[in-house]
Chains A and B, each alone.
Chain A
């Protein structure tokens, strides 16, 4: 199954399901977006990025979708595994030479 909707602080899924994590960004001038994963006891780890001239980008088991009209970003994880359990953060960047702004995280819990 899938879970969609507005930003949720937590998301629980069954192993093998698809997961969708949502993020709303605030700055319409932002043109570069990134997803990070943070496992317990570790620092954030880069997953995938997308620039504003694209609306979809795929990686290994992950897809990022960008809807600039509603300033919405999502991360889709296919066939979610227990090792995907972590906190996921979206981040945005405006013009070159500006800092990444991180959003609030979503905690993904995957049960077997």
Chain B
């Protein structure tokens, strides 16, 4: 148990669906992250929120829309995805942004786009 909980663990969606991934951290951290993990590729940073403000958007397509209502919750809204978006989406948190490399990851949401 890392203190970071992601739901759902598995999601299958069609290209026209709208769905959301949820992340919650119970660690009192100030920074939260979305990473994409595809087979045979390094982890790709998608978004960073620090004190609820977005600090990084790593050229992510607009079909991915993050939302951070407070420091403990992070969402990734998905809309009209492509099959190549199928991947493991990992949420992480850290005490602060840009000073520590110790991120606490959730177990991920495995997304399959048909």
Contact = CB atoms under 8 A, between A and B. Distances in A.
B2 interface: yes
Contacts of B92: 43
Contact of B101 (A42, A100, A103, A104): A100
Given A102-B42, A103-B42, A43 B101 contact: no
A77 interface: no
Given A89-B42, A102-B43, A103-B42, A43 B99 contact: no
Per DSSP, chain B at the interface is loop
Contacts, number: 53
Interface string B27-71: 000000000000001110100100000001010000000000000
Given A41-B107, A43-B92, A96 B98 contact: yes
A99 B42 contact: no
Contacts of A46: 101-104
Contact of A34 (B4, B99, B102, B108): B102
Interface of A: 32-34, 41-46, 49, 89, 91, 93, 96-105
